[in-house]
């Protein structure tokens, strides 16, 4: 009679090794909330505000890394090795760190992005709101809606994932955006950052034109930055003089270099 005891021992040993090596990102429940760090946006903004602001500065813009873990690793390596802290001030992320709002997906993102030498500020994406994703995001990053200044440029970042709020008129919060437009009178430029662009079917159709008008009617509005579509776009979709810039998914192995010079913004798609 054949004994299976010795045959099973190596298999059990391999299984235990696998589980122990993956323990940090192993998810015991799809609803667990166990971030590896807290308040990433606040920490990044504190680093940004320690920099000496310049009239001309550059930042990188990436988005939709939830399907691009290998590409994110390569982006971090490329940026660290080829871009200098003298030329790049920070990185903006257009949302969707996760596919299912799962805690371990955010952990995988953090494992890679923490190695980037530049501070990174990011907004919540629609996929990040699935399951317990909103709670995970807020613990990892902080509030959905926030602002920060760099020199004479103000960045207004907010949740624009209207579909996840059942198009109930709360996302994006136009009253809050308007209040932030006028909270710093000495600001020369305003750049907006949100995941879903206003012309998307996932943006509340009742808010689309009020949002576009809110930006176009503010003379200091410079750019509206978005992700979500996974394709690169730089356009004025409402023919109102307002520029909209959409970052492709990082799976395309490309990101956007944005340079603010006075009251003008230049952008360039870079492949790595």
What's the pLDDT at 25?
A: 57
Sites in the chain below the pLDDT cut of 50: 1-24
3-class SS at 261?
strand
Question: Could you tell me the two tokens for 101?
Answer: 């709002």
What's the pLDDT at 28?
A: 59
Residue with tokens 């978005």: 226
What's the pLDDT at 185?
A: 86
What's the pLDDT at 139?
A: 98
State pTM to two decimals: 0.90
Residue 190 has phi, psi (to 5 degrees) of -130, 130
CA distance 28 to 54: 47
Q: Per-residue b/e over 174-187, b at no fewer than 16 CB within 10 Å? A: beebeebbeeeeee
CATH topology of domain 31-271: Purple Acid Phosphatase; chain A, domain 2 (3.60.21)
What's the pLDDT at 78?
A: 98
CB 237 within 8 A of CB 246: no
């Amino acid at each position: 009679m054949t004994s299976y005891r010795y045959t099973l021992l190596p298999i059990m040993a391999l299984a235990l090794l696998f589980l122990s090596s993956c323990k940090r990102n192993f998810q015991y429940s799809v609803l667990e909330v166990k971030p590896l760090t807290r308040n990433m946006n606040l920490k990044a903004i504190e680093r940004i505000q320690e920099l000496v602001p310049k009239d001309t500065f550059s930042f990188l813009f990436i988005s939709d890394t939830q399907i691009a873990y290998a590409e994110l690793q390569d982006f971090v390596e490329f940026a660290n090795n080829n871009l200098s802290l003298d030329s790049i001030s920070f990185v903006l992320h257009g949302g969707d760190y996760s596919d299912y709002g799962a805690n371990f997906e955010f952990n995988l993102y953090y494992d890679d992005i923490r190695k980037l030498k530049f501070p990174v500020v990011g907004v919540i994406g629609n996929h990040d709101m699935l399951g317990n994703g909103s709670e995970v995001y807020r613990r990892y990053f902080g509030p959905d809606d926030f602002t920060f200044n760099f020199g004479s440029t103000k960045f207004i970042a907010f949740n624009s994932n209207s579909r996840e709020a059942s198009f109930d008129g709360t996302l994006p919060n136009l009253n809050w955006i308007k209040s932030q437009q006028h909270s710093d009178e000495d600001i020369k430029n305003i750049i907006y950052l949100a995941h879903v662009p206003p012309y998307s079917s996932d943006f509340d159709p009742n808010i689309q034109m009020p949002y576009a008008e809110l930006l176009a009617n503010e003379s200091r509005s410079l750019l509206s930055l978005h992700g979500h579509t996974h394709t690169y776009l730089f356009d004025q979709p409402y023919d109102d003089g307002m520029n909209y810039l959409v970052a492709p998914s990082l799976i395309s192995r490309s990101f956007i270099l944005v340079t603010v010079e006075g009251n003008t913004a230049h952008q360039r798609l870079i492949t790595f």
